[in-house]
Structure 1
Amino acid sequence: MKTIRIYILGLLATASVSCNNDYLERYPIAELAPENYFRSASELQNYTNAFYNRLPDALAIHYNNPNQADDEARNTLAAEIQGTRETPSSGGGWDWAELRRINFYLENSHKCTDEAARLQYDGIARFFRAYFYFDKLVRFGDVPWYDSVLDIDDEGLTKARDPRELVFANMLSDIDFAIANCQEAKSGQLITKWTALALKSRICLFEGTFRKYHGLGNWEEILQECVEASEALIHSGTYSIYAGDPSTAYQELFIAEDAITSEVILARRYDASVPFVHSANFYILSASYGRPGMQKSVVNSYLMKDGSRFTAIPGYETMQFFEETQNRDPRMAQTIRTPGYKRIGRNEVSVPDFATSVTGYQYVKYVLAPAFDSGQSTNDMPIFRYAEVLLNFAEAKAELGTITQTDIDQSIKLLRDRVAMPNLDVAAANANPDPYLLGEYAQIQADANTGVLLEIRRERRIELVKEGHRYRDLLRWKEGARLEKPFYGMYFPGVGEYDLDHNGSIDLVIYQGQAPTAIPGRQYQRLGELVLENGTSGGRIVNLPDIIKQWDEDKDYYYPIPTQELQLNTNLEQNPGWDRAGS
């Protein structure tokens, strides 16, 4: 049975709410004054529990745009995807309140005489400081580093931005402290040594590859840190890839009421009894919330069941839904509706619903039974998975040029074993890099490991789709220009009647002009409202064809600093290209 832990804490004149404890306790704000607080292990625990609010919720993980980037099409576009960001006057992610709370704790935790407890909770605080700064580094690049609480008249409040090298070095110091001092006992909801290793693996892969592809230098040692953090998790034997029936095991990870902690290192918990619920079913299946659908380029990336490339099949570009979904990597049918799909809690077969998916490739990942459709989903949301650590390890080794078949066997192979897919062959991949993937990634640097690196990127996209990683992946690979490309859906040769699952019944009618007389069980889409790239001559569904998406290579890899902050602190310099409010 689930438990949601709640603390209501004050910090000077503020209160924080967290959902990570077994019981409810209330403390008057006055009791949190440093002279009479931070004295016991329980007080340190209570205070650091508030930091868990920093972790992403279900909305941020599976839905927030631009996190899904070029994996997903919708009927609305985030400003980052469309290229219409503007310099804000305030806000814009330039917030430091949470950092002040963390530093306030670290300046006062020494009052606790229980040294073991203090080190453990200091480790949690420093995990969250590294986590906080990772978000800032990704968003702004250089940022001021603060490791103490500043008074309102402190000169440090008007310091210039520190270089990302210094910020990242301090982040590593924090995360290494967390690794050394957080609890070793596994927990799906608490920060542990293993969560800290997973975060180190993630941030080092980002920073190492960002520096490599953006020409910033000193990337090799950071990728080696990623390798070593990942190896520490791998060799510990603490986690494994969840297995079972290859046709269901992958999907089970994301519909589990309680996170499957053999693989899930950290999850956001949900429980209807609190109530603490999310709306995955509603967001994915509602006609009024974006109508999200997988992009055609992702569908093309799934391998065939025998490990061969779908895009090597002659005529793959004009394959219709039934043909293109046959004999594919089983993760496809566990991520989107494919022929024969039966919704949890129902016996009838359901085809994709074009009223709720703009591409026709409709998600099933995270989707529970119809009883949860009104916004009451309670499946836990994975934040860190062992699968990601394995992918980080393989990619870092490939980027360093040191990857071997043994490395693949202890990483990518485990993910493919889950779904009974053939292993990745390093020599074969490098001897024949996939032309389709070469076309997907313009910035990849051709070398002896190009083929296997492309396959690792394929694996990462398929395994982690809709988990909120893709936008940052494009940033670090310097592939933001991919967002300018049209977002496509299913292919149709033109107007007509379509039996999507080949069961002998018409499921979809694409018509032109006056709507035909409706027949129950059929969906109707008017050509022009459903846009095909070649009009009456058919083609792929085009998402938002009238919107021109833009990506500025000189500025869009960073966010702008709000103009109000530049006025308050004249030592701050704006990121390149973001010179004026509204630009």
Structure 2
Amino acid sequence: MKKNIHNKLFILASVLLLSACSKDFLERYPTASVTPPTFFQSESDFITYTNQFYGYLPGDAEIYGESADNIVKSSVDQQVSGTRLIPTTDSKWGWSELRTINFMLTSENVKNYHDAAVRDHYVGLAKFFRAYFYFEKIRIFGDVPWYGVVIATNDEANLMKPRDSRVLIVDSILSDINFAIDHLDAGKKVERVTKWTALALKSRICLYEGTWRKYHTEFNLPGAEELLNECVAASQTLMEEGPYMVYTKTDGPTGKPYQDLFATLTLEPVADEVILGRRYSNELSLKHGLQFYITARTQGKPGLEKRLVNSYLMADGSRFTDIPGYDTLQYYEEVQNRDPRLAQTIRTPGYTRIGQTTPVAVDFESTMTGYQPIKWMNNPSFDGNGQSIQDLVLFRLGEVLLNYAEAKAELGTLNQADIDKSIWLLRDRVSMPNLNMAAANASPDPYLAALYKNVNGANKGVILEIRRERRIELIMESHLRWEDIMRWKEGQILTAPFQGMYFPRPGFYDLDRNGVMDVEIYTGSKPPATGPYQIPASDLSGGTKGNIVTNRNIVKVFDETKDYLWPLPIEDLTLNKKLEQNPNWK
């Protein structure tokens, strides 16, 4: 799991100079066995040292546990509800990982290593992780200090420096990632960072930063087009030269390639598409809690939000939200003849667990909205607390294809041939019709246009469709939805009430049409239990009918003047007077 050790920005030791502990923090070597005279003398030293970097990658819940507007839970994160306060301390403003990376990059033994190819490979690996580290920092805080050295206790200039501009940080990130691309191994290794992983990260970084600068005009940042072009180039190189393809095999646990991409226990069967993943093992007792999170009654009861379910197209490629009365269709009707990814993401009528043959209905004990996730799920033996062993995906070709299409659409250079080699590959995997660029631009979806208010121009229709595709394809993957909302400057999306299934009246409901009642909507006092899950009609949007409204007592707000960035912690602002708080955080 990713390490969240909080270490003050090296400032504690400098400003206070008050304890041997602070001094030791800055002067000690990253591990007890690492000393300048004796380490980095062989490739095995490089391997041993860089192995720790993989612990900096996101862990299990950081991959699947997103909480923007895709997945609704029984609680609402502060950044979603708009109730963040300036913290006294914050592990997100932590720098120990950077210190460990920079220790290697500034080591004289590394610089003077006798085999330049070996040296540059591992330097490239370290620079990949430094780029990854700083990309996270700018997404959270914007401007941050750039450190390319291990700071000594008497280095007041570095210890007390102000934040560097976001432009400088991104330029430095790209310098690191380009070095990594040029020097990392070009092999195909699902558990190791390679040249292809670096290209995938560059694709993600440049799309994020290019669209951030395009839509966040309040920051007046240059270079949006250049970054989007860099995204296109990195994505295209990976698409054309990399050893990856969209996974389409039908010999997995369910026989459905999209679902099996996440349902397999190990990444090898789906390595056609997976560029980098996080490994787990029953034999090594490396487990996580994914299936417990989805099936337990005590883990937030995650469920898809209604607007996401509405966004899935019909199986023939037409828009669900163009159907008269779409918003009052009941569960059984609304999930019929839809994009197959819907039934491979949530429980729909006839759903069976892997390894079983008896259909199971939606379990309202475990989902807030009724749209119960099944993505990443394997057989029920892994439902226990901390018992899941599925490997988890960090980077895959599917995301790169979407990055490519979006960047070209934002640049105004997208054409149908570009769609055919990106979006079409993802849709074809599930036998969906291709996206027609001309038709999309001629008739932009009004439902999506109301959701994404900042999209304009000649490519409005196709940009909206690419956003639809991205949301559906990448749900529950590395919190990408939150990042998308932030870079598109669409924080207003988070303020709408989160909703679930529609019920037209009080009474009993057989959701699967199998003769068994699954839900009772009641008015007044709660009646004696008769088996179905009981929901008070007061939880519906219309009082006696309507959509389930979750977290109805929480009024969500989003302050456009400050909430796209996180506040710096008070303690660090106090220790270093040259640091400035992010705009409008008081």
Q: TM-score interval w.r.t. the shorter chain? A: over 0.9
Deviation at 1:526, TM superposition (A): 3.3
- Within-5 A mapping of 1:123-142: 123-142=124-143
Name the SS of the counterpart of 2:260 in structure 1. Answer: helix
- Equivalent residue in structure 1 for 2:287, among 258, 277, 286: 277
Q: 8 Å contact 2:200–2:234 — kept in the other structure?
A: yes
Deviation at 1:144, TM superposition (A): 0.7
1:324-378 Cα offsets, whole Å, 9 max, x none, are 0000000000000011111112221111111110000000001121111112111
Name the SS of the counterpart of 2:55 in structure 1. Answer: helix
Provide the residue aligned with 2:88 in structure 1. Answer: 89
Aligned mates of 2:227, 2:345 — CA distance in 1: 33
Provide the residue aligned with 1:79 in structure 2. Answer: 78
- Equivalent residue in structure 2 for 1:403, among 410, 414, 419: 414
Provide the residue aligned with 1:562 in structure 2. Answer: 569
Provide the residue aligned with 1:209 in structure 2. Answer: 211
Aligned mates of 1:48, 1:542 — CA distance in 2: 48
Aligned mates of 1:195, 1:112 — CA distance in 2: 25
Deviation at 1:438, TM superposition (A): 0.3
Aligned mates of 1:103, 1:167 — CA distance in 2: 15
Are positions 1:494 and 2:505 aligned together? yes
The structure-2 alpha-carbon separation of the partners of 1:14 and 1:39, relative to structure 1 and needing over 3 Å to count, comes to: closer
Provide the residue aligned with 1:324 in structure 2. Answer: 334
- Within-5 A mapping of 1:339-358: 339-358=349-368
Q: Which amino acid in structure 1 is aligned with residue 541 of structure 2?
A: E
Q: Which amino acid in structure 2 is aligned with residue 540 of structure 1?
A: N
Deviation at 1:261, TM superposition (A): 1.1
Q: Which amino acid in structure 1 is aligned with residue 443 of structure 2?
A: N
Provide the residue aligned with 2:163 in structure 1. Answer: 161
Q: Which amino acid in structure 1 is aligned with residue 556 of structure 2?
A: K
Aligned mates of 2:205, 2:476 — CA distance in 1: 19
Are positions 1:229 and 2:234 aligned together? yes
Q: Which amino acid in structure 1 is aligned with residue 67 of structure 2?
A: Q
The structure-2 alpha-carbon separation of the partners of 1:51 and 1:134, relative to structure 1 and needing over 3 Å to count, comes to: same
Deviation at 1:256, TM superposition (A): 1.0
Are positions 1:240 and 2:248 aligned together? no
- Within-5 A mapping of 1:137-536: 137-154=138-155, 155-215=157-217, 216-245=221-250, 248-259=256-267, 260-374=270-384, 375-444=386-455, 446-467=456-477, 468-520=479-531, 522-528=532-538, 531-536=539-544
Aligned mates of 2:230, 2:567 — CA distance in 1: 30
Q: Which amino acid in structure 2 is aligned with residue 554 of structure 1?
A: T
Name the SS of the counterpart of 1:99 in structure 2. Answer: helix
Name the SS of the counterpart of 2:149 in structure 1. Answer: coil
Q: Which amino acid in structure 2 is aligned with residue 202 of structure 1?
A: R
Aligned mates of 1:268, 1:147 — CA distance in 2: 28
- Within-5 A mapping of 1:23-62: 29=32, 31-62=33-64
Aligned mates of 2:445, 2:536 — CA distance in 1: 37
Name the SS of the counterpart of 1:221 in structure 2. Answer: helix
Aligned mates of 1:463, 1:122 — CA distance in 2: 34
1:309-332 Cα offsets, whole Å, 9 max, x none, are 000000000000000000000000
Higher deviation after alignment, 105-114 or 151-160: 105-114
1:387-409 Cα offsets, whole Å, 9 max, x none, are 00000000000000000000000
Q: TM-score, normalised by structure 2?
A: 0.92
Higher deviation after alignment, 367-376 or 156-165: 367-376
Aligned mates of 1:483, 1:247 — CA distance in 2: 36
Aligned mates of 1:478, 1:105 — CA distance in 2: 37
Aligned mates of 1:563, 1:514 — CA distance in 2: 48
Q: 8 Å contact 2:302–2:367 — kept in the other structure?
A: yes
Name the SS of the counterpart of 2:124 in structure 1. Answer: helix
Runs (5+) with no aligned partner, structure 1: 1-9, 17-28
**Percent identity at matched positions?**
51
Provide the residue aligned with 1:118 in structure 2. Answer: 119
Aligned mates of 1:150, 1:545 — CA distance in 2: 49
Provide the residue aligned with 1:573 in structure 2. Answer: 580
Provide the residue aligned with 1:546 in structure 2. Answer: 553
Aligned mates of 2:62, 2:146 — CA distance in 1: 26
Aligned mates of 1:475, 1:247 — CA distance in 2: 36
Aligned mates of 1:523, 1:96 — CA distance in 2: 48
Higher deviation after alignment, 247-256 or 556-565: 247-256
Deviation at 1:451, TM superposition (A): 0.6
1:537-570 Cα offsets, whole Å, 9 max, x none, are x001101111101111111011111111111111
- Within-5 A mapping of 1:96-107: 96-107=95-106
Aligned mates of 1:305, 1:184 — CA distance in 2: 38
Q: 8 Å contact 1:343–1:349 — kept in the other structure?
A: yes
Q: 8 Å contact 1:92–1:562 — kept in the other structure?
A: no
Structure 1 segments of 4+ aligned residues over 6 angstroms from their partners: none
Aligned mates of 1:265, 1:519 — CA distance in 2: 49
Name the SS of the counterpart of 2:37 in structure 1. Answer: helix
Name the SS of the counterpart of 2:262 in structure 1. Answer: helix
Q: Which amino acid in structure 2 is aligned with residue 218 of structure 1?
A: G
Aligned mates of 2:46, 2:391 — CA distance in 1: 26
Name the SS of the counterpart of 1:69 in structure 2. Answer: coil
Q: 8 Å contact 2:67–2:77 — kept in the other structure?
A: no
Higher deviation after alignment, 36-45 or 205-214: 36-45
Deviation at 1:12, TM superposition (A): 6.9
Q: Which amino acid in structure 1 is aligned with residue 229 of structure 2?
A: Q
Aligned mates of 1:402, 1:238 — CA distance in 2: 26
Would you say how many aligned residue pairs link Structure 1 and Structure 2? 549
Runs (5+) with no aligned partner, structure 2: 1-24
The structure-2 alpha-carbon separation of the partners of 1:514 and 1:562, relative to structure 1 and needing over 3 Å to count, comes to: closer
Aligned mates of 2:392, 2:60 — CA distance in 1: 6
Provide the residue aligned with 2:8 in structure 1. Answer: none
Q: 8 Å contact 1:41–1:114 — kept in the other structure?
A: no
Q: Which amino acid in structure 2 is aligned with residue 229 of structure 1?
A: A
Q: 8 Å contact 1:247–1:330 — kept in the other structure?
A: no
The structure-2 alpha-carbon separation of the partners of 1:12 and 1:92, relative to structure 1 and needing over 3 Å to count, comes to: closer
Q: Which amino acid in structure 1 is aligned with residue 512 of structure 2?
A: D
Q: 8 Å contact 1:254–1:365 — kept in the other structure?
A: yes
Aligned mates of 1:11, 1:263 — CA distance in 2: 41
Name the SS of the counterpart of 1:59 in structure 2. Answer: helix
Q: 8 Å contact 1:244–1:418 — kept in the other structure?
A: no
Aligned mates of 1:333, 1:158 — CA distance in 2: 54
Provide the residue aligned with 2:14 in structure 1. Answer: none
Aligned mates of 1:305, 1:411 — CA distance in 2: 19
Q: Which amino acid in structure 1 is aligned with residue 542 of structure 2?
A: N
Q: Which amino acid in structure 1 is aligned with residue 299 of structure 2?
A: Y
Aligned mates of 1:187, 1:92 — CA distance in 2: 31
Deviation at 1:50, TM superposition (A): 0.6
Q: Which amino acid in structure 2 is aligned with residue 166 of structure 1?
A: L
1:467-486 Cα offsets, whole Å, 9 max, x none, are 12000100000001111110
Deviation at 1:14, TM superposition (A): 6.8
Q: Which amino acid in structure 2 is aligned with residue 131 of structure 1?
A: Y
